[in-house]
Amino acid sequence: MSTKPRTSSFGHVERLDSGRWRARYTGPDSQRRSKTFDTKTDARLWLATAQADVVRRAWRAPEAGERTVGEYAMDYLVRTDLRASTRELYEAVWRVHLRKTWSQVPVGDITPQRVRQWHEAATQTVKPTALVQAYRLLRALLNVAVGDEAITINPCRVRSAGVPKSARPSRALTAGEVHAVTSKIPARYQALVQVMAFGGLRFGEATALRRRDVAPTGEAVTVTRSVRRISGEWVVGPPKTEAGRRTVALPPSVATRLTAHLEAHVAEDVDALVFGTSNGSFLTVSNFHSTFRRAATACELAPVRVHELRHTGATLAAATGASTAELMHRLGHSSPAAALIYQHASSHRDVEIARALDGLATNAVVVPIRPRRKSSRTG
């Protein structure tokens, strides 16, 4: 038999027949909760902590934090708003890099220190890109737990752990380099190089284009879909973002080349792929990358990736004076931050700026500065 409970304005503490102490209170959700302690002091501290959380509006149902990371992962990976390619990536990342460590861990037991220790250990065995993906997924799962009010704050706070570190920074080609590579690439893919470089299309967007997506004289292309190869199958879906649905105007010289390409390499069917293989199927990025790399090597260019053609198109457009909003539309970006990535300074552009400044300097009217006349003092 327990002693009569000692009540307060928030909950109460009572001594049990066993000699231990039990604290009880009714939470904001109208549910009664209790916990047993060895000492009265510990029981009162637990009660005081719960009361403080209620006052600060930081109270969370204790059982909410008992849901495991694995349970959150299972829900997250079947979300309908994930692209097929993204879901496939996340499933692999969870299975290979996260499940063994985190599957059975309650989200309420995860601390910043625990995440940091896992990350430090993983750097010894996991490649940098894969580790960034794993950290991002873990952070996303715990963000859901925060939204569910199972935890108050996300414990993933490792500085820069979610930022990929490229082996080398992306670079933009000059217009001259684009033309040089184009001349070395097989005729079937020359227009693809030009459309990506001067239109800023993603590879999946460009290779999903069909004849009906090209304006009559080739002056523009309309992007409504993208294609990727997932688990050995071609998956055609919407562009990466809703802003990716757009019409992109092409320079006249590129339009002329694209029109010639349609006549020489594309069937008359309106649904024929504009940049497909010779048998009319989708072009894989790995095969095109090999072809593109050989052409770049033949031009004696520094290593360059296929995606840097899009980077080139964005940078050249920015150099013409295009605003951030105009770049967002042209590139299919939904946020200014994404478009601003491409508005970086380049060495050849800096030389052009210097020449323009020289024109201002040399054409300026020079006004001679006369020495100030000394004043004489009279006694």
Strand partners, 228: 235
Q: Is the pLDDT of residue 347 over 60?
A: no
318 assigned to some structural domain: yes
264 domain residue, yes or no: yes
Closest C-alpha to 36, from 18, 48, 52, 56? 18
| From 188, 225, 307, 329, active-site residue | 307
Which of 97, 257, 310, 330 is the catalytic position? 310
**pLDDT score for 99:** 96
**164, part of any domain:** no
Average pLDDT over residues 228-237: 84
* Residue numbers of the domain that contains 132: 66-147
Would you say 10 and 19 are in contact if contact means Cβ atoms under 8 Å apart? no
pLDDT tens digits, one per residue of 293-338: 999 999 999 888 898 999 898 888 888 878 888 888 898 888 787 6
Give the C-alpha separation, 84 to 133, whole Å. 16
* Band of residue 379 on the pLDDT scale cut at 50, 70, 90: very low
Q: Which pLDDT value is given to residue 364? A: 56
Is 119 a known active-site residue? no
Residues 6+ apart with CB under 8 A from 20: 36, 37, 38
At 244, which CATH number?
Answer: 1.10.443.10
342 labelled catalytic: yes
104 and 44 assigned to the same domain: no
- Residue 346: inside a domain: no
Res 369 pLDDT > 60: no
Please give the structure tokens belonging to residue 357: 């400044």
Helix, strand, coil share (%) of the chain residues, nearest 5: 50, 10, 40
317 and 198 share a domain? Answer: yes
Sequence-separated (6 or more) residues with CB below 8 Å from residue 53: 59, 60
Higher pLDDT, 16 or 229: 16
- pTM, two decimals, is 0.62
- Work out the average pLDDT over 106-112: 93
From 90, 135, 202, 257, active-site residue? 202
Q: What is the distance between the alpha carbons of residues 259 and 217, in angstroms, rounded to a whole number?
A: 6
Summarised one tens digit per residue, pLDDT across range 32-61 is 889 999 999 999 998 998 898 888 877 777
144-196 pLDDT, tens per residue?
999 988 888 999 999 999 887 765 667 789 999 999 999 999 999 999 999 99
Distance CA 174, CA 130 (A): 32
d(CA 321, CA 339): 13
Give the number of other CB atoms < 10 A from CB of residue 318. 23
Three-state SS at 152: coil
371 assigned to some structural domain: no
Residue 222 and residue 84 in one domain? no
Question: Annotated catalytic, 289?
Answer: no
Per-residue model confidence as pLDDT tens digits over 260-286 = 999 999 999 999 999 999 888 999 998
Claim to verify: residue 95 and residue 235 sit in the same structural domain: no
Q: Within this chain, do residues 250 and 106 fall inside the same structural domain, yes or no?
A: no
307 is catalytic: yes
Mean pLDDT is lowest, of 81-85, 103-107, 270-274, 299-303, for 81-85
pLDDT value at 366 more than 60? no
Task: Specify the pLDDT at position 43.
Answer: 93
CATH assignment of the domain containing 83: 1.10.150
Closest CA to 250 of 176, 292, 200, 177: 200
Known catalytic membership, residue 265: no
Provide the pairing of β-strand 226-230 with 220-223: unpaired
Chain center to CA of 111: 25
